[in-house]
């Protein structure tokens, strides 16, 4: 496709297509990358990450970093390494449950947690498990007397 060109892209739903649908976008390719960057945040500072072949796409004012491999997206270098400075953005979406907080809380006006469909859903009750042992928290109510471990280990 090449930098500066527009194309239709199917984004997301690669890990668990039965749980969610991809999003279709017509986007401009802003840049292409090999996908290697060095972490700078408080966790794993100096470590190398490889997200594989990657591209920054633009849909209007929205910039989207797409990549081959999932990795430590809670680190701001995940964006900076590809030409997107989170501190200059009105809104930054980080698809992570908690790993982003140490890097983003100090520089964010606010943080809004969302519940999105897919394999990384943090609400375990929304995932379609079929072979759970019972009883199992949080799926079942478990009474104190049903817990087998001695209290000193809880």
| DSSP calls for 13-63 | -SS-TTT--PEEEEEEEEEEE--EEE--SSSSTT-EEE--SEEEEEETTEE
Q: What is the pLDDT of residue 119?
A: 72
Residue 16, in any domain of the structure: yes
The pLDDT-based confidence of 153 (bands split at 50, 70, 90) is: low
Mean pLDDT in residue range 31-38? 95
Q: What is the pLDDT of residue 52?
A: 95
Q: Is the dihedral of CA 3, 9, 12, 17 positive or negative?
A: negative
More confident position, 133 or 59: 59
Q: What is the pLDDT of residue 72?
A: 65
- Using DSSP's 3-state secondary structure scheme, residue 80 falls into helix
Q: What is the pLDDT of residue 96?
A: 81
- Gap between the Cα atoms of 152 and 154, Å rounded: 6
Residue 93, in any domain of the structure: yes
Count of domains observed in the chain = 1
Residue 138, in any domain of the structure: no
Residue 112, in any domain of the structure: yes
**144 exposed, middle or buried (CB, 10 Å; 0-12, 13-18, 19+)?**
exposed
- Gap between the Cα atoms of 100 and 87, Å rounded: 14
**What percent of the chain stands above pLDDT 90?**
44
Residue 150, in any domain of the structure: no
More confident position, 14 or 5: 5
Residue 126, in any domain of the structure: no
Range of the domain at 44: 6-119
86-122 pLDDT, tens digit per residue, is 989 999 998 887 888 988 898 899 999 888 777 777 7
Residue 69, in any domain of the structure: yes
Q: What is the pLDDT of residue 151?
A: 66
- Using DSSP's 3-state secondary structure scheme, residue 5 falls into coil
Residue 15, in any domain of the structure: yes
């Amino acid at each position: 496709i090449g930098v500066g060109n527009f194309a239709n892209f199917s984004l997301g739903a690669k890990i668990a297509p039965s749980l969610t649908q991809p999003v279709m976008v017509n986007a401009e390719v802003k840049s292409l990358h090999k996908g290697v960057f060095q972490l700078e945040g408080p966790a794993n500072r100096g470590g190398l990450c490889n997200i594989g072949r990657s591209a920054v796409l633009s849909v209007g004012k929205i910039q989207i970093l797409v990549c081959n491999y999932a990795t430590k997206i809670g680190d701001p270098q995940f964006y900076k390494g590809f030409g997107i400075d989170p501190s200059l953005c009105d809104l930054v979406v980080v698809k992570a449950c908690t790993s982003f907080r140490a890097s983003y809380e100090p520089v964010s006006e606010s943080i809004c947690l969302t519940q999105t469909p897919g394999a990384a859903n943090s609400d375990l009750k929304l995932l379609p498990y079929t072979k759970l042992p019972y009883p199992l928290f949080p799926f079942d109510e478990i009474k104190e007397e049903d817990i087998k471990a001695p209290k000193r280990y809880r």
